[in-house]
Amino acid sequence: MPTVKLNDVEIYYEEHGRGRPMVFLSETACDGEVWKINQVEEFCKDHRVIIHDYRGTGQSSKPSADYTTKIFCEDLVGLVDYLNAEDAIVVGHSMGGRVAQLLALDHPKKVHKLVLASSGAHYPLTKGLPLKICKEIGPKSTLRTIRKKSRTT
């Protein structure tokens, strides 16, 4: 059972395949097992797929404390550092997308590409990632889409 002690908890993780790191972040209260249904087998063919259980879920420690997106992100930073998996493709679903956004905003060197699915913004006063950040991380076609949408809303 591969675990690493990060901050004040043991975080369970798995690695599958070889290549550029691809980190999958699950939704609220869901462990990394959810990614084994379809994604791990497919993407480990040409990526180093990394899944983990957030603190409080699955095989990770379950301390009695309030959990926050920021804490999950700090745990993820420690895991990425431990596994030497910087410059990863980071895929976040729902709450995992909010964790991924924090990682991209606070630790941009750890993120090669960011894939968000069914995710809201981490910061409640914004409607998604700030335009300044999108300009830095998004391709020009994405910027055209964002500009077009921002003119119609």
Q: What is the pTM of this model?
A: 0.79
Q: CATH no. for residue 104?
A: 3.40.50.1820
Please write the tens of the pLDDT for every residue from 9-54. Answer: 999 999 999 999 999 999 988 889 999 999 999 999 999 999 999 9
Domain of 25 in residue numbering reads as 3-122
Whether 33 and 68 map to the same domain: the answer is yes
Residue 145: per-residue pLDDT: 53
Most confident segment among 27-41, 74-88, 93-107, 137-151? 74-88
Please write the tens of the pLDDT for every residue from 95-115. Answer: 999 999 999 999 999 999 999
Whether 67 and 139 map to the same domain: the answer is no
24 compared with 136, residue with greater pLDDT: 24
Residue 137 pLDDT exceeds 80: no
Whether 23 and 42 map to the same domain: the answer is yes
Residue 152 pLDDT exceeds 50: no
Number of domains comprising the chain: 2
Residue 153: per-residue pLDDT: 43
| DSSP secondary structure letters along the chain | --EEEETTEEEEEEEESSSEEEEEE--TT--GGGGGTTHHHHHTTTEEEEEEPPTTSTTS---SS---HHHHHHHHHHHHHHTT--SEEEEEETHHHHHHHHHHHH-GGGEEEEEEES---SSTTSSSS-HHHHHHHS-HHHHHHHHHHHHH-
Whether 131 and 58 map to the same domain: the answer is no
Whether 99 and 131 map to the same domain: the answer is no
Whether 55 and 111 map to the same domain: the answer is yes
Separation between Cα atoms, residue 15 and residue 128, nearest integer Å: 30
